[in-house]
């Protein structure tokens, strides 16, 4: 995917997230924001799938375990959804690991439990 396409999608993801936040408000469960965001993407005709299970590998060997991506946009951009009063550093480590394990270039950690969504929206890159 070209950098320009990533930038266009990034703006759409931010705008969709702000729309969901304005509509639903802070303080709800992560699953509510995830489902609302999936509906918002559908309304905008953006391809997204949620709760994607990806197998874990170690040195080329499948471990029989998998990790879950909250939302994958256009098969390229990982969204990790949170609704937390405190953003623990492990959340950032988690999305960085997901980017590496899934071999994706761009991801967003989105915390909906904030008064202003742009303060809960963080971008992460992997070899971008």
The share of the chain scoring above pLDDT 90, in percent, equals: 89
Residue 2 has pLDDT above 90, yes or no: no
Q: Which residue has the higher pLDDT, 1 or 69?
A: 69
Q: What is the pTM of this model?
A: 0.93
Neighbour count for residue 91 (Cβ, 10 Å): 16
Per-residue confidence band for 3, with pLDDT thresholds at 50, 70 and 90: confident
Looking at the structure of the chain, the number of domains it has is 1
Of the CA atoms within 13 Å of residue 25, those in its CB half-sphere come to 1
Q: What are the DSSP calls for 45-98, one per residue?
A: T--EEEEEEEEEEETTEEEEEEEEEEEEETTTEEEEEE--SS--HHHHHHHHHH
């Amino acid at each position: 995917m070209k950098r320009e396409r990533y930038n266009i999608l990034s703006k759409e993801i931010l705008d969709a997230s702000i729309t969901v936040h304005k509509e639903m408000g802070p303080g709800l469960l992560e699953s509510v924001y995830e489902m609302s965001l999936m509906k918002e993407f559908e309304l905008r005709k953006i391809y997204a799938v949620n709760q994607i299970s990806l197998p874990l590998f170690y040195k080329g060997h499948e471990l029989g375990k998998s990790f879950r991506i909250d939302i994958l946009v256009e098969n390229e951009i990982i969204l990790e959804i949170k609704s937390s009063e405190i953003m623990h550093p492990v959340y950032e480590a988690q999305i960085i690991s997901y980017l590496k394990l899934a071999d994706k270039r761009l991801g967003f950690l989105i915390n909906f439990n904030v008064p202003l969504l742009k303060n809960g929206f963080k971008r992460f890159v992997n070899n971008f």
